[in-house]
Structure 1
């Protein structure tokens, strides 16, 4: 049995290692235009340079004066920028290093996820679950971006793992170390992404369920009650301390609550259903996706009593994403592993029926094969094009334009650009995204930068002829992708 256990562990380590190699092989030079990454990096830089106040002032101006005020908070939660600071300190704006850092968090999540589910399956199902998540190309391709999803997944699932341990240890002699660790982890998950607050609710429900089934807990015993509330006290203390150290600009997220309505929720339901179907496998017929939903629901029923933490966390975070007025496919990253886990739990319930055993095995085998094949083919294509630079701020024309802005404009100038946070990062100039009115462009900016490939996306796009007829705009720089106009007032 020890040899079997050793082989199981070896295969799991091998799968996780291969996942890491796939991540590295899919990394390309540069970064996409995005925008979120630039604010994360600027926040990390401001921590190192002691310029947090300047950052808040600059990005407040960018958000408040742009045509769209909802494209960015004043600052993101400071957890992820804090994680970036040591890497940024030693490597600077080196995307290759930052992407490896992202990959390490993804691998860390897979490791935590393995330890969370290994006793809930036999080793074959555990290995299949880790493979389906780790080899999913959506995850692998996203390690090519500097975003907070993978650190959030790592700390969230580590918290869930410890909450499960709390359920077990509360039936014996519970010490204070575990409640303290859970409080710290919940806070830091929240400090990476605000939806991490649902972990507090997950903990509360898990504790309530334990109290109901654990007659040894004496609620009139001060020591036992204190152990129950330690995580909440730690969370509150950390939050108060963080407010004293960092500005809470990320709470501007809550100003969007007036945008919450039924129509947006319905739109989100349709969007996430389609995105989840693509995550399962993009080229399979829709009936296959609905079949996985049936298996998922069967798995939920089968594990309802034993996987309370997973289920409460899943239900809570799905609710947040459905009512939140914005949607992104990457928001599903935290949901998909739990979804796949319950799908396989649902399939597992059929194994006792010999007539269905081979059908279940065939479904899992086909799904694994398709997932691995998709990632393998995409990795080959990516490796063949590894010398290419991503169309973004690191491309040759972009770097040429940024150099011009740095050298030919003054620090007090305002640059109108379709990605103002990226302009801030690369040129240290205040920048606005203004696209609704040419008079607003003229009134608010000193320079206008037009990116030809973006068309009318987030920029006032006029043809060179139209611009030449307007005496307020003078072309002073042009390359293959960009035209820079000086605004004459």
Structure 2
């Protein structure tokens, strides 16, 4: 196990850079940690007025805060936290799986996880997934101990760990359902009550705050509509979300998870990788079916629980929540990646017995390890190249101009406010380009905006320059260009409200 951790840390060290990727939550976590370090509290320092932050739970920014207080925006040091958490996650996964699967199979699954390209990529970014994996694995270990040996104290410690996991990532609520179910199936009612009570006591302030003020991940689960539902939302329409998300998870998302960074939208081998991901999904489904059949059985109309391990219940609950979540992404499945490997190997063994290929599971594991290691090497190589080239380099250049040439009270309207605030040191506000001139000026008055950043290239499919041309025709006297970058161009406009 020590050798695996050393290999992982070596790969992570090769992939670490003092830069940020063009997209992701990295900047959000940094700005929230800066807010905590400055004593403003857990508020969003990007937007004028310091509105309360509801989208991102506070544990991971809290972990970043001491480093930011001591060393400022040292991105390399900040990235050490998720990288070290990734190494701890491998140890936690091994400790969780070893009692049930044995040391050899537990090590194999930890090795498959540690050499997965997507796992390494997230571990070398300022993201909370690896921290959550450590907490969730430790929580499941405590739940299992409470289920097998009893003890309200152990269950309470499990509840404490689950609460920490929820404060790391909102989907940690799956651990509450899993923990209580695993304990109740073993007739550990007192332990289930202790676990639920501790979690409720510790997390209710954050959950109720999120529900009351909206715009949280929990609120999105209930409120975000899908195109197929004609703009409607709510729990009654969750089956439509499941039907909408399931094929995407089985195809593109699983391909991203297992073949990152080799899958792109213009990759000529994309159909092959989608086919392979569907095969992997089928193998995992077969393995899950075998595990469920072994855990639960109905004999003479009596339901019995033989081996309902908490990890099996957790995987089913977690994936179920992902399937009804408004969005889909490979990193959403990263916290259950070890369990996907576990049941994928189980499925390969079941298929291998049927087709008389007993080594199918071993060959599949070897193939995934080779692909994963190649992905890790590719990520380490690609990360040596500057993230921001061409378009985003111009965007950062424009933000640095704002930092040098405007007063500290300046406020920006732009398409990427968090990144703009990070680079320019100024407040920023969303601007999508779809508003007419009068509405843009009203937003500027409300937020105190002084400048507009207009990109003449698409960001998330939106070219603000194309949309802004109509606004410029309507309110030309109110918008004065003060700086243009070299092509691909970003134009900075000064807003004149008088």
Instruction: Give the TM-score taking structure 1 as reference length.
Output: 0.80
Tell me by how many angstroms 1:169 deviates.
1.5
Could you say which residue in structure 1 is the equivalent of 2:4?
A: 15
After superposition, the Cα gap between the structure-2 partners of 1:442 and 1:368, relative to the gap in structure 1 and judged at 3 Å, is: same
Could you say which residue in structure 2 is the equivalent of 1:270?
A: 247
Could you say which residue in structure 1 is the equivalent of 2:14?
A: 25
After superposition, the Cα gap between the structure-2 partners of 1:229 and 1:372, relative to the gap in structure 1 and judged at 3 Å, is: same
Q: Deviations over 1:305-342 (max 9, x none)?
A: 23531222112222222222222321111232211111
Q: Distance in 2 between matches of 1:185 and 1:393?
A: 44
What is the number of residues matched between the two proteins? 449
After superposition, the Cα gap between the structure-2 partners of 1:252 and 1:365, relative to the gap in structure 1 and judged at 3 Å, is: closer
Contact persistence 1:23–1:143 (CA under 8 A): yes
Could you say which residue in structure 2 is the equivalent of 1:51?
A: 40
Structure 1, unpaired ranges of 5+: 1-11, 64-71, 212-216, 220-224
SS at match of 1:476: strand
Contact persistence 2:22–2:387 (CA under 8 A): no
Could you say which residue in structure 1 is the equivalent of 2:300?
A: none
SS at match of 2:100: coil
Contact persistence 2:457–2:465 (CA under 8 A): no
Q: Deviations over 1:211-236 (max 9, x none)?
A: 1xxxxx7x7xxxxx3x4422222222
* Of 52, 60, 85, the match for 1:105: 85
After superposition, the Cα gap between the structure-2 partners of 1:18 and 1:307, relative to the gap in structure 1 and judged at 3 Å, is: farther
SS at match of 1:454: coil
| 1:253 maps to 2:183 | no
Q: Distance in 1 between matches of 2:456 and 2:166?
A: 39
* Of 93, 102, 106, the match for 1:126: 106
Tell me by how many angstroms 1:242 deviates.
6.1
Q: Distance in 2 between matches of 1:243 and 1:466?
A: 42
Tell me by how many angstroms 1:276 deviates.
0.9
Contact persistence 1:416–1:441 (CA under 8 A): no
SS at match of 1:52: coil
Could you say which residue in structure 2 is the equivalent of 1:318?
A: 319
Structure 2, unpaired ranges of 5+: 226-232, 264-268, 296-306, 445-449
Matches within 5 A, 1:29-428: 29-34=18-23, 36-52=25-41, 55-56=43-44, 59=47, 74-170=54-150, 174=151, 176=153, 178-211=154-187, 225=190, 227-239=191-203, 252-256=216-220, 257-258=222-223, 259=225, 260=233, 261=237, 263-273=240-250, 274-281=252-259, 284=272, 286-304=274-292, 305=295, 306-349=307-350, 355-379=356-380, 381-382=381-382, 386=384, 388-391=385-388, 397-398=394-395, 400-426=397-423, 427-428=425-426
Q: Deviations over 1:339-363 (max 9, x none)?
A: 1111112334578899422344333
Could you say which residue in structure 2 is the equivalent of 1:441?
A: 440
Q: Deviations over 1:43-95 (max 9, x none)?
A: 22222222127x358648699xxxxxxxx964521111112212222222111
Task: Please give the root-mean-square deviation of Cα atoms over the aligned residues, in Å.
Answer: 3.5
Q: Distance in 1 between matches of 2:158 and 2:275?
A: 40
SS at match of 2:18: coil
Could you say which residue in structure 2 is the equivalent of 1:479?
A: 485
SS at match of 1:311: helix
Greater relative contact order, per chain length (Cα 8 Å cut-off, separation 6+) = 1
Q: Distance in 2 between matches of 1:403 and 1:185?
A: 42
After superposition, the Cα gap between the structure-2 partners of 1:392 and 1:209, relative to the gap in structure 1 and judged at 3 Å, is: farther
Tell me by how many angstroms 1:417 deviates.
1.0
Q: Distance in 1 between matches of 2:390 and 2:49?
A: 22
Q: Distance in 2 between matches of 1:463 and 1:187?
A: 45
Q: Distance in 2 between matches of 1:359 and 1:40?
A: 42
Q: Distance in 1 between matches of 2:368 and 2:329?
A: 25
Instruction: Give the TM-score taking structure 2 as reference length.
Output: 0.79
Q: Distance in 2 between matches of 1:104 and 1:59?
A: 31
Tell me by how many angstroms 1:146 deviates.
1.3
After superposition, the Cα gap between the structure-2 partners of 1:393 and 1:487, relative to the gap in structure 1 and judged at 3 Å, is: farther
Could you say which residue in structure 1 is the equivalent of 2:266?
A: none
- Which segment drifts farther, 350-359 or 402-411? 350-359
Contact persistence 1:44–1:82 (CA under 8 A): yes
Contact persistence 1:20–1:103 (CA under 8 A): yes
Contact persistence 1:128–1:368 (CA under 8 A): no
